[in-house]
Amino acid sequence: MVEILRQIPENEWRRFLDEQSDATLYHTPEWKTFLEKTFDYKSRYLFATDESGQLTGMLPLFQVKSTLTGNRLCSVPFSHECGCIGDTSTQIALIDEAVAIKERYHIEKIEIRKNVETQMFQRKNTFCEHVLELSQNPGDIWKRMDKSSVRWAVNKAKKQGVSVECSINIEDLKKFYEFNCITKHNLGVPCHPWDFFKNLFSIFDGYVRMYLSQYKGRIIAGGVMEYYKDRIIYGYGAADPKHLDIHPYNAFIWKSIEDACGNGYQIYDFGRTSYDNAGLIQFKKRWGARERRLCYSYFPSQSIATTRDSIMYRLGSSVIRVMPMSAYKAFSTSIFRHFG
């Protein structure tokens, strides 16, 4: 018999995740704390135990109330894949309880960012991820990378004098944040608020690291990497647009891959990509990464999605691009929580 609990001791939670091969960074207590502190989401986590009280499964859930995206339960915001952990019967019990919570609190819909094997959920494949299998020898990875684009760009960055360093310094993080604002503003999309990165580094001590590309003594680009078990996720990247011609992205990505190989990690995850972003998909493939479909599950139906080709998306992007930077930052801070 499966019993569903709302809370468990944190040491039991961590011990359970250590034993589960499909546990991710997004299942950790730190991710719960991070989302609560950054966006003030209401957590509705579910934990399953057997007759002896042993933890056998979990489903992390947040209630996101939004005038833009509706009132929904999500597992979990700002992850690219996260769902139930446990055997089949345990997962069924957890999903049933999630549906009961939806009805009890008059929540409109449930979004599980993984495949749910029940007929009531609609499954949709809108995104993919790209994963690179690592080796103890970085040279093995180098040989698999596209010679005329990726390897060429890494070599050009080195010849131009681009160097890469790791940092967890708050002033360096502020510089990265500014680049992220510029990058997203040019793309015409909201940027992460400052508290997102500040809290990420303060809460995930040991789980996150920032790689910085430098040129002539100045930071020109950065990438934030997230670490959990044998996997590294390239979470966030941004650069000074004036220096894209010397390929700072390629420089810090390659350095992070080299370090990952040397430190015994097995998977380098380039993160989630929408299928309508063909250019980014090609960029990731050229590193030798393997594409994997991401299947999300919705009840009672899929959330409304806007593609890059839609009139609404293009109109919104054009408005964002002409916003003054101060107004853009304030706008992004107020709206970003709606899209988790």
CATH superfamily membership of 129-294+311-332: Gcn5-related N-acetyltransferase (GNAT) (3.40.630.30)
Map out the domains of the chain as residue ranges: 3-120, 129-294+311-332
- pLDDT given for residue 119 in this prediction: 85
8 A C-beta contact, residue 138 and residue 261: yes
Note the pLDDT tens digit of each residue in 58-76. 999 999 998 888 899 999 9
By C-alpha distance, which of 243, 240, 245, 223 is closest to 183? 240
**Topology of the domain covering 3-120:** Aminopeptidase (3.40.630)
* Three-state secondary structure call for residue 221: strand
- pLDDT given for residue 156 in this prediction: 98
Contacts 24+ apart (CB under 8 A), 174-179: 175/219, 175/222, 176/210, 176/212, 176/219, 176/222, 176/224, 176/238, 179/221, 179/222, 179/238, 179/239, 179/240
Residues 6+ apart with CB under 8 A from 280: 273
Distances (CA, A) of 104 to 9, 45, 142, 300: 25, 15, 53, 15
8 A C-beta contact, residue 124 and residue 295: yes
Which two three-digit tokens encode residue 82? 């996260």
| Residue 333: exposure state from Cβ atoms within 10 A (0-12, 13-18, ≥19) | middle
Q: Does residue 304 have a pLDDT over 60? A: no
Domains 3-120 and 129-294+311-332 fall in the same CATH topology: yes
- pLDDT given for residue 70 in this prediction: 87
- pLDDT given for residue 310 in this prediction: 59
Q: Does residue 172 have a pLDDT over 80? A: yes
Note the pLDDT tens digit of each residue in 29-63. 999 999 999 999 999 999 999 999 899 999 999 99
> What ranges make up the beta strands (E) of 180-326?
208-215, 218-228, 231-239, 267-274, 290-299
- pLDDT given for residue 32 in this prediction: 97
8 A C-beta contact, residue 217 and residue 164: no
